[in-house]
Amino acid sequence: MPKKISKVLIANRGEIALRVIRACKELGIQSVAVYSEADEGALHVRHADEAICIGPPESANSYLAIDKIIDAAKQTKANAIHPGYGFLSENPLFAEACEKNKITFIGPSADAMRAIGNKTSARELMEKANVPIAPGKNDVDRNDTKTILTEIKRIGVPLLVKASAGGGGRGIRLIENEKEALEIIDLAANEAASAFGDATIFLEKFITGARHIEVQIMGDAHGNVIAFGERDCSIQRRNQKLIEESPSPAVDEELRTAICNAAIEAAKSCNYQNAGTVEFLLDEKTKQFYFLEVNARLQVEHPVTELVYGVDLVKTQLKVAQGESLTNLFPTQPTPRGWSIECRINGEDPFSEFMPSLGLIGSLELPNGPGIRFDSMIYEGLDVPLFYDSLLGKLIVWGVDRQEAIARMQRALIELQIGGIQTNIPFHQELLNNNAFITGAFHTNWLEENFVMPS
């Protein structure tokens, strides 16, 4: 039975740790930050009620060390853990460790994670739940060349070979003709084995010119699931999202209802609880959509949903984890208002193949004005560690419509000044002024196929 949360340990770092700390403060819940030796001067360490060092800079010995995080929770008497995103957030062993130690895990159960964490089993689960999936072949044996070539002929090229245990865009390769198929499958399987310790792969029809549409869902302990509309995440480079917006310029009210209903059925198929995202590929020409995967955690891009739906998703996570019912929290279905866009601000050089650029933040000027939000870990004088990803913060804007949101983001990107390191702000400025983006005429491969940064 869920219990009242009095103190939350945040098993993460950076802007998401700050985001959770702020939600805890507003609910009168104590917070505990964990940090590696490289993050001793981080903002989440300063803002939490308590902070405890869990090891050296390397993630494997700190933020990914389940035993150290559980010990930190016990030492500080935290009775709940919020995993944020990345690191251990989708690790069923971590959720089980919390349960074993009678610590509330603010996220889905280990069983739900396992059911949807493996992409091939997730496809099978969705098929049973009547959630549309793209034509494909599960559990491909890389050594059974005869079956592989037969399935490729059946599915048709182009198609994707994907790692079953994949994530973060890794273990994904495009097969454009049959002659190169076997070589590409070997490359994908080897990459999967190296990245995830699992070489299992599957084949999936490649939807040309597809949009990447995802639905924010929230489930409670009483069997209720709510969908908070869709986000469009089609602006990607190397399968990594760079800009997200809500709603999608490609989705009308009828399609929104259908895709949200499918997301709810996907969540119910595995008794999903707490925050999650169901991702789909949308064939914009036919309006047919296909299940892609479930992210069993809060997403980086959750703020655009918050601004459009007027909801605090982190506070909702905390309330749901305590056993509160979504029917009480949301007596009526939340409805969208306006438009929101998020730009991921990374420490990288857009003029040098987006090479990482981390180090000392020499100066910082933040954007201000109506409808602007900057969720960030940085401050003037911070020496950004080289041990973690390059995300510095998220610039989010809200406008009454897409036109105003774009104009507001253009202004905010000019006002946001980060000195001392290179950032991808110039990339976002060029993109926000690109006619294809302004008119909404883009898809998941548009950026890499059509967009070139001026030198």
88, 69 contact by CB (below 8 A): yes
| Annotation marks residue 297 as catalytic | yes
Report which of 163, 153, 151, 150 is spatially closest to residue 202, judged by C-alpha positions: 163
- Whether 319 contacts 262, CB under 8 Å: no
Q: Residue 401 class from Cβ within 10 Å (0-12 exposed, 13-18 middle, 19+ buried)? A: exposed
- How far is the C-alpha of 344 from the C-alpha of 295, rounded, in Å? 18
CA dist., res. 199 & res. 355, Å (int): 28
What are the residues whose beta carbons fall under 8 Å from the beta carbon of 408, sequence distance 6 or more?
369, 370, 371, 372, 397, 398, 399
Burial class (CB in 10 A: 0-12, 13-18, 19+), 50: middle
**Active-site annotation holder among 19, 123, 211, 297:** 297
Neighbours of 369 (CB within 10 A): 10
What lies within 8 Å, CB to CB, of 385 at 6+ separation is: 38, 39, 57, 358
- Contact, 70 vs 97, CB < 8 A? yes
Assess whether the previous peptide bond of 2 is cis (omega < 30° from 0).
no
Active site residues: 297
